[in-house]
Chain A
Amino acid sequence: MPNTAQELDARGLNCPLPILRAKKALNGLQHGQILRIRATDPGAVKDFDAFCKSTGNELVSSEQSSGEYVFQIRKN
C-alpha cells in the first residue's frame, strides 16, 4: 500500500466539486505524494479517470466499497 500524504472527504458532494476539491488538495502536495479521496458521487469514477489522464497525475487506484468510492492519486 502506498503511503497517503493527505485524505480528502468528498462524500455527499456532487459534480464537479470532488474534482475541484481534489485539484486544490493536490496543489498542496509534493511531487510523488498520494492523495486519497473518498466520494459518493457515482460520476466521480469516470471524472477522476479523465482528470488524471488530462492532468498527468497517476490514478493509483479506483475502488468501490459499500456505496463509497475511494480514489488514490499520485501527484506528478
Chain B
Amino acid sequence: MSNVAEMPSGKIPSELLQKHGAALDAWFDERFSKKLKEAEESKTPSLAIIATKGTMDWAYPPFILASTASALGWDVNVFFTFYGLELLKKELQLEVSPLGNPGMPMKMPFGPKWFKGINWNIPNLVMAGVPGFEKVATGLMKKTVKNCGVASVQELRDVCVEAGVNLVACQMTVDLFGYTRDDFIPEVKDWIGAASFLPIAQKSDVCLFI
C-alpha cells in the first residue's frame, strides 16, 4: 500500500481493487440506485399534449388529462393545432357528430330507465339527410353530460387556466384558417410552431397526441 500516495486522484490501486472489488461494486450499485431514486422523486413530472380535434367529444380528453395532471402537481403544456384551435375560442361552440361514428351510443338522456337504455341505431343516410341532426345530437350529449355530473368543457378549460396549464396555439393554423388572435381567450400563453413545441415535448415525461 506504499504507492497509494503516488496514485493519480480518482484511480483505485489495483491491489485494493482485487481485494475489495466486489464490495466496491456493491457499494456503488447501492449508492447509485439511491441517488437515481432521489433524483427521480424530486423531479416534477411533466405532460405535453397535442390537441388536434375541435368537436365536443374530442375536447374532453385533452382538458381532463391536463386539468388532472395539474391537480397532481405536474407541469402541463397543451399545443392546440388545426381543429384543436376551436377549444381555445372565446365562445366555445363545440358540437358532436354521430355521423360516421359507429362507436357512439345514441341514447336519450331523459325518460324512464328502459327508454334511456335503448340504443337508437340511426342509419348514416338519415343522419346526413336530416337538417339540424348535429344540433340535436349535441343538445342530447350536453344533457347526458350534465345528468351524469361530468364537467362541461368550459369548466375543465377554466380549471386548466386557473391551474396555470400552459396553453399554446399553432400560429400556422391561425393564419391558415383565417383567424385572428382576438378570436381566442387571452390566456393563450404563446403562438408557436412545431419547432418550438417539439423541444417542450422532448423534455416531457408523457406526450400525447389527441
Contacts and interface: CB of A to CB of B under 8 A. Distances in A.
Interface of A: 12-17, 19-20, 22-23, 40-41, 51, 54-55
Given A12-B149, A14-B148, 14 more contacts: A13-B149, A14-B151, A15-B64, A15-B150, A16-B68, A17-B151, A17-B155, A19-B71, A20-B71, A20-B159, A51-B71, A54-B72, A54-B73, A55-B73
Contacts of A19: 68, 71
Given A17-B151, A41-B149, A55 B64 contact: no
Interface of B: 45, 64, 67-68, 71-73, 148-151, 155, 159
Contacts of B73: 54-55
Contacts of B45: 54
A44 B191 CA distance: 36
8 contacts: A14-B150, A15-B64, A16-B64, A16-B71, A17-B151, A17-B155, A20-B67, A40-B149
Nearest to A12: B149
A14 B149 contact: yes
Contact of B71 (A13, A23, A40, A41): A23
Nearest to B71: A23
A20 B68 contact: yes
A55 B73 CA distance: 7
A16 B67 contact: yes
A37 B64 CA distance: 20
Nearest to A41: B149
